[in-house]
């Protein structure tokens, strides 16, 4: 047995799943096996795990609820860390909301609305967990995480736990400092404002109804595939280029929303990547615009 695995077991970190198919843990339902999927029991165990991995120079990849991620068909070498029960919580403190990295971002929006707090209405249809939302500066309907972010406790790849304030995060469109500085969100604090429960609920329901009407939410996808280019929308460009319904293998551009690629049942990561490249080449040739994927591609080529 490898020394780092023995140490993880002795530290009683949580579940250790070997050669675990990532297709079981991503919303695209695509992805080869991870050498080891680690599901820590709680915050302290997660920090301990990262310190052990750092000590043995073992690479790791974080996985939230598996949205906005494409795992390649050969899987992921090293360790995948999936925060779960121990980081699936929320606490309210006046107009501050403290949420664990594993807490559902949609559920957080619903809970804050029920507590008469405004600011997270935009998140009512964004899949994934709080940690991933902070990492990606997730947003919709003209707002994003940066607007209501106060601070986050983050464990760096060395195992050091630090607190990043808003100004430390270097937020921009679908970007945070965590794209350059490897770390994993443990808990995020959001600063909201008091609002009318009825108005908040009405706004969230309107966003939800629009998403249900315009997005293939019942099918396997990662959400939006491409970032919106400045002053335009990726979906508009893809649809205007006649790419709705375009297909490669089991991957298909949604007929309902052209910035979604759906897994029709047997799609591989290579199918998706080929379709992404085809879309990019078409839009570049036709409009001179380089579409940039917002989906994170991980794993062995």
Q: What is the pLDDT of residues 268-292, one digit of tens each?
A: 999 999 999 999 999 999 999 999 9
Task: For residue 39, give the nearest of 69, 14, 3, 73 by alpha carbon.
Answer: 14
Q: Quick one: pLDDT at residue 204?
A: 85
pLDDT band at 240, cuts 50/70/90?
very high
Q: Quick one: pLDDT at residue 210?
A: 84
* Domain at 88-200: CATH code: 3.30.465.10
Mean pLDDT of the chain: 94
pLDDT for residue 18 is more than 80: yes
Q: Quick one: pLDDT at residue 1?
A: 56
pLDDT for residue 122 is more than 70: yes
pLDDT band at 127, cuts 50/70/90?
confident
Fold of 216-298: 3.90.78
174 is catalytic: yes
pLDDT band at 252, cuts 50/70/90?
very high
Q: Quick one: pLDDT at residue 299?
A: 96
294 is catalytic: yes
Percentage of the chain surpassing pLDDT 70? Answer: 100
Which of 20, 121, 252, 294 is the catalytic position? 294
The larger pLDDT score, comparing residue 261 to residue 1, is at 261
Which of 45, 151, 174, 187 is the catalytic position? 174
Q: Quick one: pLDDT at residue 217?
A: 86
Averaged over 233-256, what is the pLDDT? Answer: 97
| DSSP strands (E only) in the chain | 14-21, 33-40, 60-62, 69-71, 76-81, 90-93, 96-100, 117-118, 139-140, 143-144, 149-156, 161-165, 183-191, 193-194, 247-248, 251-253, 261-263, 296-298
Measured between alpha carbons, how far is 128 from 223 in angstroms, rounded to an integer?
10
pLDDT band at 60, cuts 50/70/90?
very high
Domain boundaries, the chain: 3-85, 88-200, 216-298
pLDDT for residue 123 is more than 70: yes
The larger pLDDT score, comparing residue 45 to residue 2, is at 45
- Which tokens belong to 5? 């695995």
pLDDT for residue 239 is more than 90: yes
Percentage of the chain surpassing pLDDT 90? Answer: 86
Task: For residue 111, give the nearest of 134, 88, 131 by alpha carbon.
Answer: 88
Measured between alpha carbons, how far is 296 from 70 in angstroms, rounded to an integer?
6
Q: Is the pTM of this model over 0.85?
A: yes
pLDDT for residue 238 is more than 90: yes
CATH among 3.30.43.10, 3.40.50.920, 3.40.50.300, 3.40.309.10 for 3-85: 3.30.43.10
- Which tokens belong to 228? 């919106």
Give pLDDT tens digits for 144-159.
Answer: 999 999 999 999 999 9
Q: Quick one: pLDDT at residue 172?
A: 95
Which of 67, 224, 254, 258 is the catalytic position? 224
Give pLDDT tens digits for 199-222.
Answer: 998 888 888 888 888 899 899 999
């Amino acid at each position: 047995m490898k020394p780092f695995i023995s140490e993880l077991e002795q530290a009683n970190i949580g579940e250790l799943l070997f050669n675990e198919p990532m297709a079981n843990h991503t919303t695209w339902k695509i992805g080869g096996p991870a050498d080891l999927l680690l599901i820590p029991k709680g915050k302290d165990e997660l920090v301990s795990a990262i310190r052990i991995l750092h000590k043995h120079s073992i690479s790791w990849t974080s996985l939230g609820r598996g949205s906005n991620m494409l795992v390649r068909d050969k899987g992921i070498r090293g360790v995948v860390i999936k925060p779960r029960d121990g980081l699936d919580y929320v606490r309210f403190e006046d107009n501050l909301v403290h949420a664990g990295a594993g807490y559902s971002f949609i559920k957080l929006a619903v809970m804050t609305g029920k507590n008469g707090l405004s600011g997270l209405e935009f998140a009512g249809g964004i899949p994934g967990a709080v940690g991933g939302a902070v990492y990606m500066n997730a947003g919709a309907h003209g707002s994003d995480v940066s607007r209501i972010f106060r601070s986050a406790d983050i464990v760096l790849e060395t195992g050091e736990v630090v607190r990043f304030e808003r100004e430390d995060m270097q937020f921009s469109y679908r970007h945070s400092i965590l794209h350059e500085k490897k770390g994993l969100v443990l808990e995020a604090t959001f600063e909201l404002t008091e609002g009318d429960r009825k108005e908040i609920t009405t706004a969230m329901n309107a966003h939800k109804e629009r998403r249900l009407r315009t997005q293939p939410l019942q099918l396997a996808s990662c959400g939006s595939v491409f970032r919106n280019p400045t002053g335009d929308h990726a979906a508009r460009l893809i649809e205007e280029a006649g790419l709705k319904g375009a297909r490669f293998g089991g991957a298909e551009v949604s007929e309902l929303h052209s910035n979604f690629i759906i897994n029709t049942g047997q799609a591989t990561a290579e199918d998706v990547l080929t379709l992404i490249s085809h879309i990019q080449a078409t839009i570049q040739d036709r409009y001179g615009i380089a579409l940039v994927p917002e989906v994170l591609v991980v794993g062995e080529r």
